Structure 1
């Protein structure tokens, strides 16, 4: 299995941060063979939101690359945060959540058709059928900016600011050597109108160098607010391409969804040609892009929803109690993971497609879902029975259906798919042949 690359932290760089099957043992099953994790995307910001009631622990990760002198993080937050409410996190936890919830490829092997199979009801039958440093200027008050709090956490120096005018806030940030994009004031204004505060971070070079790490660690913040949201608009200031965002929402009661945009399930539980095993990354990217275009680029895709206590099939082991706590889960009881539910939401956004920040709600549904794709290997042993002839006839139909499914999901050419599968080109039917032959 491919080793996961270490994922960085903070959600927006200087630029900014911020099936439906019942839980039965046989519902999915199969042999796990590959996963579509965040390594598939050149720029994929990741955020963990652990929330229960109005209490939230937010973990921000980011793939910031460049001189740490240039790093600046500006995040709208609903309350003034104190030092004890902020800490650095463990980047490995984000890797673990990614691995646990990533869309997966599974495979089955057909049994000998000459050996009668026992009949199963419910979930089992579905398996066979699917077989899926801060400075403060004297002019601050004139700019309408107030430093509400200042402290250091790990390799970060942090300020909590409030502001009256967005132009004043942008001027203050530039005057204090924060390298924010031009035009930030326009996007800062809505947060000021909502009386939100601004979490601002720089890298403390002395602390960073003494730590010996080449990577910035994630930042975690804890706060209470009825607002269940994630600000993404500042991250679009000078973005030239669409950006991918993976949000892992950990809740006590069940699935979470985006409320101001549609939340839809990623296409799942389909049979695919065997060669996809060597091209699963390319397949998933193509499939996601096709689904994204078909949904007119204005949806959040649910890629995984499951109780953190188990998985089926497992792309990674469930997180331990200690790992869940590191991810921000603060309500664990003696049942540990049994009362932690994960929803993995994948949003590809741009200025045009997502003009609003993401608003969430917890639905209470504990219905399991995963992006799951199925390979079925035909039986290749000796077959000497009447059922074998029927089995062989159905194989060609199955192969053709797999080819058409792959073409529909990805937009790949059906002819190219058939050649890779080594199945003959389908010729158009001739309606008169039935009586002329």
Structure 2
């Protein structure tokens, strides 16, 4: 018997959120660029590992444009320190992508006299403690209500952590510092400022980028403690030229993670299918996903793997 079904792994969920030309989901930050550079975000992959109040967020982007004078702005709930930010290995995302990729599997009836152990009987992995991090010296620009809470370099990125009192002030500060802000940024920045969020600004250090011979930007990782469990993604709409893909890998040692502000729809992965599909599975799955996407009017999050 052949079925379209996913392998089960402890506490892993991958959500595929596809196609949002109208206001909906996109990447968790927006790109800013100096001069007239055009940077567009069409597909992104994000890993969120969550345990208690601790979150580790990894961001990888499929952007179009030159890395010269490129920057990324992402709302974050706390002031990040150098120890909390690192450059990730692209192979991590590639591994998760391959591990959770759609697959066609074949099942045979098990031997009832030789039962296999249940997943919940397997030992759980050990967890590590977290050390408290020291605070960075703060600098401020009181005229615009913008404060530089931290400034440091990680790998090929120069990092700023900003706080702001008004979205217009933050937009003005970025413009005064040589960044061309996408149209509509101020309106979308406002609710994040009202929630008291900070702004993680990552800019490419071209000298280090060139010295290391990088061809593409590596993922950025950040770890922080906060009761807020969220992925601020509406800002990514600013860079959209059409529909976008966002793949989110959610990892937790406790149960299944679900969205609270978007309806979650499961891809039908428990169906028996004809054997000839084995030879045309890639095209078959793409058609299945597209049909489900269109049936849901392109306004839901898809649970593709759990």
Deviations 1:95-147 (A, max 9, x none): 111111122112479xxxxxxx99869x99xxxxxxxxxxxxx9932221111
**CA drift at 1:301:** 1.5
User: What is residue 55 of structure 2 aligned with on the other side?
Assistant: 56
Deviations 1:231-282 (A, max 9, x none): 1111002423221111111111121111122222211122334443343333
Q: How does 1:237-276 map onto structure 2 within 5 Å?
A: 237-276=238-277
Q: Does the CA-based 8 Å contact 2:28-2:234 persist in structure 1?
A: no
Q: How does 1:305-324 map onto structure 2 within 5 Å?
A: 305=306
Q: Does the CA-based 8 Å contact 2:57-2:221 persist in structure 1?
A: yes
Larger RCO, structures 1/2 (Cα 8 Å, 6+ apart): 2
Question: Between Structure 1 and Structure 2, whose CA radius of gyration is higher?
Answer: 1
- CA change 1:43–1:287 in 2 (3 A) is farther
Instruction: Give yes or no for the alignment of 1:179 onto 2:180.
Output: yes
The structure richer in helix per residue is 1
- CA change 1:145–1:118 in 2 (3 A) is closer
Cα separation, 2, equivalents of 1:14 and 1:119 = 55
User: What is residue 74 of structure 1 aligned with on the other side?
Assistant: 73
Q: Does the CA-based 8 Å contact 1:276-1:283 persist in structure 2?
A: yes
Cα separation, 1, equivalents of 2:293 and 2:73 = 29
User: What is residue 104 of structure 2 aligned with on the other side?
Assistant: 105
Q: Does the CA-based 8 Å contact 2:28-2:232 persist in structure 1?
A: no
Cα separation, 1, equivalents of 2:238 and 2:192 = 15
**CA drift at 1:70:** 4.0
User: What is residue 120 of structure 2 aligned with on the other side?
Assistant: none
- CA change 1:292–1:15 in 2 (3 A) is farther
Q: Does the CA-based 8 Å contact 1:15-1:235 persist in structure 2?
A: no
**CA drift at 1:201:** 0.8
SS at match of 2:64: coil
Of the three residues 31, 55, 59, the one matched with 1:14 is 31
- CA change 1:11–1:285 in 2 (3 A) is farther
Q: Does the CA-based 8 Å contact 2:140-2:147 persist in structure 1?
A: no
**Structure 2: which 5+ runs fail to align?**
1-26, 34-40, 117-138
Deviations 1:37-77 (A, max 9, x none): xxxxx943111111101111100011123211142100000
SS at match of 1:200: strand
Cα separation, 1, equivalents of 2:170 and 2:104 = 48
> What's the TM-score once normalised by structure 2's chain length?
0.74
The structure richer in strand per residue is 2
> What's the TM-score once normalised by structure 1's chain length?
0.53
Deviations 1:200-250 (A, max 9, x none): 011001111111221111111111111111011110024232211111111
SS at match of 1:98: helix
Cα separation, 2, equivalents of 1:80 and 1:299 = 32
Cα separation, 2, equivalents of 1:253 and 1:118 = 29
User: What is residue 132 of structure 2 aligned with on the other side?
Assistant: none
- CA change 1:183–1:246 in 2 (3 A) is same
- CA change 1:11–1:232 in 2 (3 A) is closer
